[in-house]
Amino acid sequence: MRALNIEVPDTLVDRWLEWFSPAVQPFLVDSGLAASVTDHSGKVALTDEVRDTYCLYGLASGLRYLWLSEAQFMALPRQTRAALVRAQRTHDRELVPSAKAWESVVGDRVREQGDGYRFVWWRSLLSGCEEEVLRDYIEDGRRASRHDEVPEAVWNSAARVVPDARGLAGAFAESSGPNCFGTVMAATGVANADKVWMLREPFEQWLSEKNRPHGDDAAPGTVLVWRSPDGLVQHAAITVGDGWVLHKPSQGWMSPNKVLTVAECKASSREVGRRLERYTVLR
């Protein structure tokens, strides 16, 4: 499979399917809707990957998770299923696509789940179209990596300052967690920094000890740091030279280490109130 101009190993695609359509799926429900459904799931852990799939970053007041398997979901009255699916849209849970958009790929089953307008992905629906659905999800709203456009001479020149940048570029992490801070640090040679959820504090310490203020966007080894008005670092990227930059947009499993132009990275990282700072890696 190829997504965002990156080759994805089959073993990783198999894990993506588990995270994209878990056997037991979380539904956001209020007390009224919860009372109409028998909860058979018991305690189910919300993994980092499932959290990122559905963008479940904290429960709003009055809501809870209802965990249902496909068999449990489909055993409910159609009216209840429709209410559950509509509630996910209301409460901003992700992956509640339009039936019309996928009917030609999946068939009439997408209209049979609930009210016929929206549905949720179950593994049975993905049979035979797994890669098409996953690719659409991964690529929706995301820029493709341009690592294969970087000239050989640029990579060779960058190796002195960011020795591991080339190996990181154009690759998906093995799970959710690895983030932009760790990717930047790993590009400069910090062992295993790209394998963990790097917190602000160790990143700020590395920034202070291993870098100096200011930098040149055209040169390799310039760390771009975006801070919110309160001064907290929100995102980081690192240049590889000749106007190219390496960054990981988020900690989600669907977010790869990608190469963009500096201009593209700035555009995708821009938010109201953020300020951009530059540092240069010390060598």
Tokens for 81? Answer: 């299923």
Tokens for 240? Answer: 């590889």
120-151 pLDDT, tens digit per residue, is: 999 999 999 999 999 999 999 999 999 999 99
CA 268 from centre of chain? 14
Query: Which of the 8 DSSP states describes residue 195?
Result: G
pTM of the model as a whole:
0.93
What are the DSSP E strand ranges found in the chain?
Answer: 2-3, 6-7, 24-30, 63-69, 211-213, 220-227, 233-241, 244-247, 258-261, 275-281
Sorted by where each starts, the structural domains of the chain and their CATH numbers stand as 2-139 (no CATH), 147-281 (3.90.1720)
Sign of the four-CA dihedral 181, 183, 188, 193: positive
Identify the bridge partners of residue 281 per DSSP, sorted by sequence position. Answer: 211
241-276 pLDDT, tens digit per residue, is: 999 999 999 999 999 999 999 999 999 999 999 999
